[in-house]
Amino acid sequence: MTRVGVVTFPGSLDDVDAARAVSKAGGEPVSLWHDDADIKAVDAVILPGGFSFGDYLRAGAIASLSPVVETVVKEAAAGLPVLGICNGFQILCEVGLLPGALTRNAGLRFVCRDQRLRVEDVNSPWLRNYYVGQELVIPVKNGEGCYQISKDELSELERSGMVFLRYIEENPNGSLADVAGVRNAQGNVLGLMPHPEHAIDVLTGPSTDGLGFFSSIVDSLVKAG
């Protein structure tokens, strides 16, 4: 069974939800503690949403120095699949696994709502079960979700297909070019501000559109194995 590590930081809110999503997709969630450098030989890692260390300094800044993140950075360079959701996305940008930065939302207000999105690229084991142009409805809930990057770097991201997800109809946080998620050049590291773990069951979410992230990694690793 595919073993997916889910990291818990002080202030994490969505680690349990992410673990549940892994289970629903047919994988085995493995709890990882922020202060432990051992990632227990997992096949993939999720950095979940929340407010790690209370978002002091800036979102993700303190968490980026955690022993578990240091290990994740090393393993990601060797190809380990890593997914950062909301605060996890902020952490991935802090450590340089993903380009750009997340800043305070336009209007300086916390946003929490169901959001329409479009899949722009599927070259990643986390995106196997989606298709380019697919439209999704997944919740967003963030106060520092405004994606920023230089125009030249944005052009390179778009040319390379590294912008894999965009907001459509309305941009909830002012992100440049409506960017909702980016991946690295290799495709093993993804970050997104929306919360797919809250869209895996029609009983509790607006859709099941988020389940594809978790089923994709399980299916991809089963095939690779």
The residues annotated as belonging to the active site are: 86, 195, 197
Closest CA to 85 of 15, 179, 175: 15
Is the distance from CB of 42 to CB of 30 less than 8 angstroms?
yes
Question: How many whole angstroms separate alpha carbon 160 and alpha carbon 2?
Answer: 29
* SS3 of residue 155 by DSSP: helix
Q: Which residues contact 167 (CB under 8 A, 6 or more apart)?
A: 115, 116, 117, 175, 178, 179, 180
Q: Maximum CA pair distance of the chain?
A: 47
Q: Would you tell me the crossing angle of helices 15-24 and 211-224 to the nearest 10 degrees?
A: 60
Is the distance from CB of 198 to CB of 17 less than 8 angstroms?
yes
Question: How many whole angstroms separate alpha carbon 119 and alpha carbon 134?
Answer: 5
Cα–Cα distances (Å) from 212 to 122, 128, 129, in that order, read 11, 8, 6
Helix then strand then coil, % of the chain, to nearest 5? 30, 25, 45
